[in-house]
Amino acid sequence: MIFARKVWHLLVAIKDGLVLVFMLLFFVVLFGALTARPSAGLVREGALLLKLDGVVVEEPAAADPLALLFAETEPMKEHRARDVARALRAAATDDRIKAVALDLSRFAGGGLVHMQEIGAAMDTVRAAKKPVLTYAVGYVDDGMLLAAHASEVWVDPLGGAFVTGPGGHNLYFGPLLERLKINTHVFKVGTYKDFVEPYIRDKASEPSLEARRAIYAALWDSWKADVAKARPKADIGKVTTDPVGWLKAAGGDAAQAAKAAGLVDQLGDKVAFGERVKQLVGADSGSTLPGSYAHTRIGALLAAHPESSKGEAVAVVTVAGEIVDGKAGPGTAGGDRIAKLIDEANADEAKALVLRVDSPGGSVMASEAIRGALERFKAAKRPVVVSMANVAASGGYWVSTPAQRIFAEPGTITGSIGIFAIMPSFERTLAQYGVKGDGVRTTPLSGQPDLLSGLTPEVEAMLQANIENGYARFIGLVAQSRGKTVEQIDAIAQGRVWDGGTARQNGLVDQFGGLDDALAYAAQAAKLGDDWHAETYGSAANPYASLIERFGGDDGSEDDSAPGGDFAGLFAARQDAQMAQALGSFKRLTGTRGAQAYCLDCPVPVAAARLPSRDAGLLARLAAWVGL
């Protein structure tokens, strides 16, 4: 019996060991499969399929796999503008790619500069004698700008194409806060620094409206010029001056109205669009479904055309999103994180650095941390160049001041040189209910700032003086950077925003050009000749990205959810964006910490809208995947 028991224990131990080994192997294989990156070998002869579900951004936000597991709705996808443009340029030269198909069914937009960059890349494909086709249920401004650069524009018969133009309303909470007896303490410098106005007024001030009219007019002119050049037959005037008459002339059929105005070429559903692409590039050998065509995804094409790593490194560091204190990001510009990236490039002895800025600003302290790191890089006698994308305003301009040259596009929004601080107090609110503060102070600063009992006059005066000092520092930095006097900078500062063209005229920008132009200048300034490559810091691949994409529906399957929506659906998406913006504005009243260099007038694209969710998060997808 003792022998048998020992044999049994041995057999159980062997069984348990084998189970552990096989489980370990299973999870290793599963992890490898789910985190596998696109391979260059996956490029197939056919079309490049670009499914721009979600938004185009300068820097996608980092995905938190744990948060995603428990999310109630699927987060909106973000596509890096540089990757989309690079894939299009690769498609122009790759003989295996016969055409490009842009699926904009669930496209939610992006910044004007990014749209123009992608549009120019689409032109490169067409110049290589390769057709570019777009499809959507509904096009709005950003999607329409991309479609204008296509050789064939398709729209669903139940959809349409609409042009709304930039602009809109902000909410002003001043009367509401007064009714609630909330004191809003505002400390600012700058006639045009209107970020605080929604909390103290019932409408925009005339200086705010003046700046906004100018900036939106410049954006609108740039958009119209781009579309007119790419698609001369489009009658934008008819669509925008009398939209009701234009739509009624087509019997209320938005798709037919869009075709009559030259905004689109063909009416057809997604299957019809797929059949058209199949005529050009051939059928998908792996699918018998109608509308299937041979295609390659963006990841595979980019893997087949890697960026050069030869020669000396020119570092690229990105400041994208709101500038905040700490290590936040990517997608949000955490000052400590970005300063560390710049210091890493400095330690690596990168020969030059290009700071790519796409930010409306934010924390003064975080902006200063980034600026300080750039000054340390410059102290090593190496060039620093700034490349502005859609927005480089307020704190976005603060971090640009160390540059020896600033590049921007005509559609870039910059300036907004000014700072503010805002702080609510609730002493009047509490007094309505018989709650009052009392006590003993040893100095005027004792217990301050007291948001429940109120601020003392001394504290208010000190805060305003500190903000004025911060503004003086800001315009001093700009004056030193731009080679102008403080008085000259003050005249164009005061918190006012400028379009890229005007900013170049008043000296805030040196030259028109994109990131590639800034890189070429930096390499030339570092005397590298042609022996250099761009090295992006802070862009390490997320090891969970493939897993997230797999369950998020970007695994290459054609089993898509419903398209983005018809005319009413498009407007509903914009409504979602407006609601999110309103809630965010109110939250800033209590969420803002410290002095801020932030831009109110910088346009918020429709990219902020949430698209209809496809599931209740990854747990629901995982359950469906395993058949639960």
Tell which of 306, 332, 359 closes a domain: 306
DSSP letter for each residue of 112-163: HHHHHHHHHHHHHHHHTT--EEEEEEEE-HHHHHHHHTSSEEEEEEEEEE--
Tell which of 536, 560, 584 closes a domain: 536
Could you identify the residue written with the tokens 């050789």?
151
Residue 291 region by backbone torsions, left for phi larger than 0, else alpha for psi between -120 and 50, else beta: left
Of the candidates 116, 110, 123, the one whose C-alpha atom is nearest the C-alpha of residue 514 is: 116
CA–CA distance, 290 with 554 (Å, rounded to integer)? 20
Q: Do 340 and 297 fall into the same domain?
A: no
CATH of the domain at 140: 3.90.226.10
Domain that includes residue 416, residue range = 312-422+448-536
Q: Is 601 inside any structural domain? A: no
Note if 394 is an active site residue. yes
Amino acid type, 232: P
Which of the residues 222, 359, 387, 394 is marked catalytic? 394
Q: Do 140 and 281 fall into the same domain?
A: yes
Note if 193 is an active site residue. yes
CA–CA distance, 325 with 333 (Å, rounded to integer)? 8
Tell which of 279, 306, 333 closes a domain: 306
CA–CA distance, 90 with 580 (Å, rounded to integer)? 37
Contact criterion met (CB below 8 Å) for 198 and 182: no
Q: Is 4 inside any structural domain? A: no
Q: Is 137 inside any structural domain? A: yes
Question: What residues have CB less than 8 Å from 614, skipping those under 6 apart?
Answer: 74, 553, 561
Element (DSSP H or E) covering residue 15: helix 2-34
Output the pLDDT for position 213: 93
Q: Do 319 and 301 fall into the same domain?
A: no
Of the candidates 418, 417, 400, 601, the one whose C-alpha atom is nearest the C-alpha of residue 509 is: 400
Tell me: the pLDDT tens digits for 127-150?
A: 999 999 999 999 999 999 999 999
Q: Do 281 and 326 fall into the same domain?
A: no
Cα distances from 35 to residues 28, 41, 87, 464, 555, in angstroms, run 11, 17, 21, 52, 12
**Could you give the 3-state DSSP secondary structure of residue 345?**
helix
Q: Do 127 and 262 fall into the same domain?
A: yes
Q: Do 317 and 406 fall into the same domain?
A: yes
Q: Tell me phi and psi for residue 345, to 5 degrees.
A: -65, -35
Q: Is 625 inside any structural domain? A: no
Q: Do 301 and 316 fall into the same domain?
A: no
Cα distances from 453 to residues 174, 278, 421, 439, 594, in angstroms, run 20, 71, 19, 10, 20
Domains of the chain: total: 2
Residues in the chain: 628
Cα distances from 184 to residues 181, 194, 445, 462, in angstroms, run 9, 14, 19, 16
Q: Do 366 and 484 fall into the same domain?
A: yes
Output the pLDDT for position 43: 87
Q: If the chain, 628 residues long, is cut into consecutive pieces of 10 residues, what is the mean pLDDT of each piece?
A: 61 65 59 49 89 94 64 75 97 96 94 97 98 96 96 96 89 91 89 88 93 94 96 94 94 95 96 96 89 94 92 96 92 95 96 97 94 97 97 96 97 93 89 89 86 88 91 95 96 94 96 97 95 88 52 45 51 57 58 62 50 43 37
Amino acid type, 292: S
Q: Do 259 and 137 fall into the same domain?
A: yes
Q: Is 180 inside any structural domain? A: no
Q: Is 501 inside any structural domain? A: yes
Contact criterion met (CB below 8 Å) for 331 and 325: no
Q: Do 259 and 395 fall into the same domain?
A: no
Indicate the pTM of the whole model: 0.85
Output the pLDDT for position 448: 85
Q: Tell me phi and psi for residue 10, to 5 degrees.
A: -65, -45
Q: Is 82 inside any structural domain? A: yes
Q: With DSSP H G I counted as helix, E B as strand and the rest as coil, what are the percentages for the chain, rounded to 5? A: 45, 20, 35
Q: Do 301 and 318 fall into the same domain?
A: no
Q: Do 376 and 473 fall into the same domain?
A: yes
Which of the residues 193, 238, 278, 351 is marked catalytic? 193
Question: What residues have CB less than 8 Å from 307, skipping those under 6 apart?
Answer: 86, 533, 534
Cα distances from 77 to residues 52, 106, 214, in angstroms, run 9, 10, 32
Of the candidates 599, 598, 38, 58, the one whose C-alpha atom is nearest the C-alpha of residue 316 is: 58
Output the pLDDT for position 7: 57
Output the pLDDT for position 553: 45
Q: Is 194 inside any structural domain? A: no
